[in-house]
Amino acid sequence: MKHFTCVQDIGNLQEAVKEAFEVKRTPFRWDTLGKNKTMLLIFFDSSLRTRLSTQRAALNLGMSAIVLDVNQGAWKLETERGVIMDGDKPEHILEAIPVMGAYCDVIGVRSFARFECKETDYREVLLNQFIAHSGKPVVSMEAATRHPLQSFADLITIEEYKKTARPRVVLTWAPHPRALPQAVPNSFAEWMNAAEYDFAITHPEGYELDPAFVGCAKVEYDQRKAFAGADFIYAKSWAAYADDAYGKVLSQDRDWTVDAEKMALTNNAYFMHCLPVRRNMIVTDDVIESPQSLVIPEAANRVVSAQTVIKRILSAMKKI
């Protein structure tokens, strides 16, 4: 594996999950693979889980880890080419990226959708600049349109807890006071479709995701109908994708909050969310605190997904 930005980069999912389980059982078995190698984690946006789990994964593999919060202490970066740089941004990303590449062996990048231009977001301009100009393998730690380390951890978690070979998995929109990117739901849909689960998405009208990510998932506008018989409920809020409403919050309808009454319609489903989660907006206290809530093991599996990915990248580097 050279870069990790989407489900295609991981190859065969069954083999990837098997390898992830091995990593989980014996996390220190490859603790010299990353000897004298450095992982640089670059954050354009905030993080708790990704920041800690990816560092932990690199350390488990014997790497050093450096973290850079671009907006706290680094020079402000201009990202547009052709701009006359007479404003408040003293450095251009086209110099900063190769410089950062010179200081490390693998780069992780987090940069969310900005909701300023849908085309720029969905072309993954910044992530692709890192791939083009850093000269190093790049791991997406959540980009504008996907969050593949999260989705891989979600898949590992479902594989650990599922009771049937092909569980019924439902992604549900839920209310949130702010406009959130579509990266997590896009990516989750991409991975669930690739896993060939019985997969459905439910959301209010107006919250349709990019059809390229929805794929063959069933879309159901009646949340209660979608919950019927589900084995896993995955909640997430996202802003509108449609051109005329891109990045907008169309509804904060708390009828869509995941609560015990709706969970009772399911097949005793597990509850999942990538965190951070707004309690009693996205999900009620009793559901997230219930024995069916997987949010903590799901977050713990972020180390496993990151370690499996970085291990593959390091192994590929050794072969060159």
Write out the residues near ligand CP by the rule CB under 6 A: 47-50, 142, 150, 274-276
Distance (Å) of CA 200 to CA 168, 176, 256: 8, 21, 16
Nearest to 77 by CA among 63, 95, 52, 51: 95
Give the whole-angstrom CA distance, residue 320 versus residue 313.
11
- Least Å distance, CB 177 to ligand CP, is 17
- Least Å distance, CB 153 to ligand CP, is 8
**Virtual torsion, Cα 17, 19, 23, 26, nearest 10 deg:** 120
Count of CB atoms within 10 A of residue 41's CB?
A: 23
The residue among 110 and 203 lying less far from ligand CP, judged by its C-beta, is 110
Query: How buried is 162 (Cβ within 10 angstroms: 0-12 exposed, 13-18 middle, 19+ buried)?
Result: middle
The residue among 125 and 306 lying less far from ligand CP, judged by its C-beta, is 306
The residue among 66 and 275 lying less far from ligand CP, judged by its C-beta, is 275
- Least Å distance, CB 278 to ligand CP, is 13
- Least Å distance, CB 182 to ligand CP, is 14
Distance (Å) of CA 144 to CA 109, 111, 266: 11, 6, 32
Do 50 and 149 contact (CB within 8 A), yes or no? yes
Do 229 and 237 contact (CB within 8 A), yes or no? no
- Least Å distance, CB 274 to ligand CP, is 4
Rg (CA), the chain: 20
Indicate the SS3 state at residue 78. Answer: strand
- Least Å distance, CB 207 to ligand CP, is 20
The residue among 78 and 142 lying less far from ligand CP, judged by its C-beta, is 142
The residue among 37 and 146 lying less far from ligand CP, judged by its C-beta, is 146
The residue among 48 and 316 lying less far from ligand CP, judged by its C-beta, is 48
The residue among 51 and 168 lying less far from ligand CP, judged by its C-beta, is 51
Token pair 């992530």: residue:
127
Distance (Å) of CA 123 to CA 8, 81, 133: 17, 15, 16
Give the whole-angstrom CA distance, residue 195 versus residue 184.
16
